[in-house]
Amino acid sequence: MTRSIRIMVGTALLAASFSGPAFAQGAPQTVSLVKVDLATLATGYRASKVVGSTVVNEANETVGTIDDLIITPTANVPFAVLSVGGFLGMGTKYVVVPFSSLQVKDKQMVLPGATKDSLMSLPEFKYSS
């Protein structure tokens, strides 16, 4: 029995010695570092605090809620998915606006010139599954 265990261990060691080191597949990547102005960054808003915020127009009328923020690989600005209309989740429509069109005033998200009707007339956004 000890001889068969020795043979199995020897076979395992021999097999391990023939296998080469594991290398990651794919193309080599480079990362370029950019200096960030931390003072400016500190005046920004965390995405976790923005999502769920009520969006109002300049007349302080509620026009929607920020449901999500989407960052695409090609665009330099994030997009805000707004939940518009509906009641308790029924009849809600999702629309997308560039996040840069929103303004922060007195800790409120303001979408100048927006009304519920104008947002409801935008194409509906549907999340991909």
Residue indicated by tokens 């997308």 = 96
Domains for the chain: give ranges and CATH numbers. Answer: 46-120 (2.30.30.240)
For the cut 60, the answer to whether the pLDDT of residue 22 exceeds it is: no
The answer to whether 109 and 83 have CB atoms below 8 angstroms apart is: no
For the cut 90, the answer to whether the pLDDT of residue 118 exceeds it is: yes
Concatenated DSSP letters of 86-101: -BTTBT-EEEEEEGGG
**Cα(42)–Cα(37) distance, rounded to whole angstroms?**
9
**Cα(1)–Cα(39) distance, rounded to whole angstroms?**
71
Task: Indicate the pTM of the whole model.
Answer: 0.68
Give tens-digit pLDDT for 28-84: 777 778 888 888 888 888 888 899 999 999 999 999 999 999 998 888 889 999 999
Q: What is the mean pLDDT of the chain?
A: 82
